[in-house]
Structure 1
Amino acid sequence: MTDSASIGSDEPVPFTIDDFAARLRRAADAAAAEGLDGLLVTPGPDLLYLTGYAPVAITERLTLLVVPVDGEPSLVVPKLERPDAEEAAGAVALRLLDWADGSDPYATAAPLLGSGRYAVSDSAWAMHLLGLQDALPRTSYAAMTAVLPMLRAIKDRDELARLAAAGAAADAAYGEILKVRFAGRSEREVAGDLAALLLRFGHSQVDFTVVGSGPNGANPHHEIGDRIIDDGDMVVLDFGGLKHGYGSDTTRTVHVGEPTDEERRVHDIVRHAQQTAFEAVRPGIACQEIDRAARAVIAEAGYGEYFIHRVGHGIGLTTHEPPYMVEGEEHLLRPGMCFSIEPGIYLPGRFGVRIEDIVTVEPDGGRRLNGTPHEMAIVE
């Protein structure tokens, strides 16, 4: 049996004031390189990444980190949240400004901005962006992902350690789920087992537990339902969440009882496609080449029309973030990038197969952060 205590108890190295200061400098430099005047960061993964600050609740009250390309970063917060914000601001050497209920938060933020162009967190509330536009009509804005998609893409050593720990915990959950009974139970019941295992092996948050059995597996966005899993079903298991603040995401496709020759063949094609894409990983090639490598294998085998999604997405503080392994994405792979490789074949009304690992780019190629076997597992 896997030792859940050892997997769940490893503590990550805390991020330091120097880590956050370096991230803020890189963010300002990246904004300057894109001709921007700075970044406007609202609660969510960007704020957490740059400051370590995660407000207790994201509400209609304005919280805004202003990172100018030149000058001192400032954090604007509601007065009632100032005590929590002071702890984060002190740890990152931010200037802190607050505003009280009944006052205009945009008037507090406006002096920190000029009449320039700023990148704004994708998660910013529209009401806040419109409020800033009213206060500063000559200032313009662009979505962070559109202008600075690689802001969080390059992981440092401590981030990679957290991602590796999350991947190992997800692997441990997979090892245990193979021991439970599938036949005669609902997808929802098996998904509940998976969620409990992720928590058992150290996840603080379960984001998804996909159990797609039989024809449900042919829908890539099927999550769970009340369908009773039967002998002879192919079952897609896709699950993940957060451990130590960083994401896991892995997929394996299992079979209840002995598979048919066709099911084995389709699974082998997907396995080959996943391996081929992994072997294509190296610094300096475009993200789209990873998608192309997997897609070519599936197309050559005659199933190209049944591979209907991109081959991968970045992962870090969230389970989906840039970079994306998709046709048209020309950003170059760099050491420290982490992303999924998850090709699939989906035969409508029949079954689906998907195999997914998280991969990080190293100077000489790629390294998997998932280590469970790719061969089809037979379950009861």
Structure 2
Amino acid sequence: MTASPDRAQPFGERLRRAGEIAAEHGVDLLAITPGTDLRYLVGATGETHERLTCLLVPAAGHRAPPAIVVPKLEAPGLVGLGLADLGVETVTWNDGEDPYLLVSDLAGGPRRIAVADSMPAVHVFGLRDAFPDVAQVLAGPVLRELRMRKDPAEIDELRAAAAAIDRVHARMGEFLRVGRTEAAAGADIALALVEEGHTGAAFVIVASGPNGASPHHDVSDRVMQHGDMVVVDIGGPLPSGYYSDCTRTYVLGAEPDPEVRKAYEALQDAQEQAVRAVGPGVPAEQVDAAARTVLTEAGLGEHFIHRTGHGIGLDVHEQPYIVGGNDLALRPGMAFSVEPGVYLEGEWGARIEDIVVVTADGCERLNRQPRDLQVL
């Protein structure tokens, strides 16, 4: 557990707002184990283990102060977070003690606890044993109210992540060549992500020829061939923890067949219309519909087999989801992908993906690389 990289974040305001939203949801206490929710609230990174580390955030109006329960051997990792300045008490425990009873002692008699969505079951059941008469719900509905709307510092990080992944896409001529395997190209792309500012590659999809018809193909030993369409979907975190995610489609060595070119132009129009549909007050499903309508009118609707987008931030997939049936009204500060695709099984696939941020009068497109079908 270590402090976040150098970046000013309004952690005190986030804790305060988390308590207020918890109260609005009828939750008395938030119990947050290590993961991106904990990083968002107090800047602590790291993974959850069998030893319980848990941030306790009381709902507004409750007398119990915020506290973090942590194994004594891991407490040094919290030094530098400024928890005391945030009003968060650090409470340690030793092996052999029951940390769940310690949480119970600190909790102040809650009736309803919201646990982190990613909390391991071993800790969920440990807390249930310590609070046998207390209802447990998920903290996601509380925290997504905060995390969906990025503050200016977060948007700056997403801009930096988008610029970094754009620099990798600008180098695709180095990696995608006839005669190379997808795996070899993917390994070079993963190195390029680090060279361009990421801490690592969270995912590298190099899907050539018929493999492009599988949206989450990954890489394989398939040798890329003259005329192949190649879908490249890549992303990873910056040192701040904020993610990039961008997809472009390339063709190797030759112009595609006219029918493929026509389909790609429809896809490009679908992505453009979906981006233009983004704005404050617009239901998320309306952005999905904007892309889907274009492809359906082009006779390609059945080949668009996934949602149009997902939120992005400290997680590469988070709220809001841009999908049919989601009537959530978009609000300034929400950041998400716009990524329609066309997939013809056994033949080829294509996808175009940019990250956008909702503004007061529309949206800002963070990725700047060309969206045309590029011949390498």
Q: TM-score, normalised by structure 2?
A: 0.94
Shift of 1:86: 4.1
Query: SS at the partner of 1:24?
Result: helix
Within the alignment, does 1:376 sit opposite 2:369 as a pair? no
Shift of 1:116: 1.6
Within the alignment, does 1:332 sit opposite 2:329 as a pair? yes
1:136-155 alpha-carbon deviations (Å, 9 max, x no partner): 11111222334543331111
Within the alignment, does 1:353 sit opposite 2:361 as a pair? no
1:235-268 alpha-carbon deviations (Å, 9 max, x no partner): 0000000113210000001101221111111111
Shift of 1:179: 4.0
Shift of 1:13: 6.7
- What is the aligned partner in structure 2 of residue 281 from structure 1? 278
Question: In structure 1, how many angstroms separate the alpha carbons of the residues matched to 2:102 and 2:248?
Answer: 51
Question: In structure 2, how many angstroms separate the alpha carbons of the residues matched to 1:329 and 1:173?
Answer: 33
- What is the aligned partner in structure 1 of residue 131 from structure 2? 136
Identify which of 26, 40, 43 aligns with 1:35: 26
Question: In structure 2, how many angstroms separate the alpha carbons of the residues matched to 1:345 and 1:310?
Answer: 12
Q: Which runs of 5+ in 1 are unaligned?
A: 1-11
Per mean C-alpha deviation after superposition, the further-off stretch among 347-356 and 86-95 is: 86-95
Query: SS at the partner of 2:147?
Result: coil
Kept in 2, the 8 Å contact 1:214–1:352? The answer is yes
Question: In structure 1, how many angstroms separate the alpha carbons of the residues matched to 2:44 and 2:85?
Answer: 10
Per mean C-alpha deviation after superposition, the further-off stretch among 287-296 and 350-359 is: 287-296
- What is the aligned partner in structure 2 of residue 198 from structure 1? 193
1:176-212 alpha-carbon deviations (Å, 9 max, x no partner): 1134442100001111121111111111121011000
- What is the aligned partner in structure 1 of residue 66 from structure 2? 73
AA at the equivalent of 1:61: R
Kept in 2, the 8 Å contact 1:241–1:247? The answer is yes
Kept in 1, the 8 Å contact 2:175–2:189? The answer is no
AA at the equivalent of 1:316: G
AA at the equivalent of 1:299: T
Kept in 1, the 8 Å contact 2:18–2:142? The answer is no
Question: In structure 2, how many angstroms separate the alpha carbons of the residues matched to 1:353 and 1:43?
Answer: 37
Kept in 2, the 8 Å contact 1:77–1:85? The answer is no
Identify which of 136, 150, 153 aligns with 2:148: 153
Kept in 1, the 8 Å contact 2:190–2:200? The answer is no
Shift of 1:87: 3.2
AA at the equivalent of 2:78: A
1:78-118 alpha-carbon deviations (Å, 9 max, x no partner): 11111222432235331111111011010110123324222
**Residue pairs, 1:219-238, within 5 angstroms:** 219-238=214-233
Question: In structure 2, how many angstroms separate the alpha carbons of the residues matched to 1:13 and 1:161?
Answer: 14
Within the alignment, does 1:62 sit opposite 2:59 as a pair? no
AA at the equivalent of 2:56: V
**Residue pairs, 1:1-380, within 5 angstroms:** 14-16=7-9, 19-55=10-46, 57-69=47-59, 70-71=62-63, 72-88=65-81, 89-90=83-84, 92-113=86-107, 114-146=109-141, 148-243=143-238, 244-256=240-252, 257-379=254-376
CA 1:125 to 1:22, structure 2 compared with 1: closer, same or farther past 3 Å?
same
Question: In structure 2, how many angstroms separate the alpha carbons of the residues matched to 1:112 and 1:205?
Answer: 38
AA at the equivalent of 2:38: L
Per mean C-alpha deviation after superposition, the further-off stretch among 134-143 and 309-318 is: 134-143
> How many residues in Structure 1 have an aligned counterpart in Structure 2?
365
- What is the aligned partner in structure 2 of residue 3 from structure 1? none
Shift of 1:58: 2.6
Query: SS at the partner of 2:205?
Result: strand
AA at the equivalent of 2:329: L
- RMSD of equivalent CA atoms: 1.4
Question: In structure 1, how many angstroms separate the alpha carbons of the residues matched to 2:309 and 2:327?
Answer: 14
Shift of 1:33: 1.3
Kept in 2, the 8 Å contact 1:45–1:317? The answer is yes
Question: In structure 2, how many angstroms separate the alpha carbons of the residues matched to 1:45 and 1:288?
Answer: 26
Question: In structure 2, how many angstroms separate the alpha carbons of the residues matched to 1:234 and 1:13?
Answer: 41
Per mean C-alpha deviation after superposition, the further-off stretch among 68-77 and 345-354 is: 68-77
1:9-67 alpha-carbon deviations (Å, 9 max, x no partner): xxx97224xx0000111111111111211311110000000000124x43110010011
